[in-house]
Amino acid sequence: KLLHIDNSMMRKNESAEVITYFDQLGLSDALTFVDATDEFLAALQNECEPEKKRTIIGNEFIAVYKREAARMGIEGYVLGQGTIYPDTIESG
């Protein structure tokens, strides 16, 4: 079972590309896609501090993952979270 969570901060069309890629690999039946845009944007509302935003995003990602993993029965599976290159530059 595979879980892809869109947090609304991905590159343009990146989720669609991920879904297409897994489909090309023959894994589309195993992939669950969750658009958590509204949850992430609500959590970030009125926050401007970059470090606090990173913390909020990380905490929200874990919360969404735990909820969806429990729903799918994959709580004990590995969690892989990507990042974006500008974030690595900003983080130093």
CA distance 60 to 88: 19
Q: What is the CA radius of gyration of the chain?
A: 14
pLDDT digits (tens, 9 = 90+) for 2-48: 899 999 888 889 899 999 999 999 999 999 999 999 999 999 999 99
3-state secondary structure the chain: CEEEEECCCCCCCHHHHHHHHHHHCCCHHHEEEEECHHHHHHHHCCCCCHHHHHHHHHHHHHHHHHHHHHHHCCCCCCCCCCCCHHHHHHHC
The model scores a pTM over 0.85: no
pLDDT at 88: 52
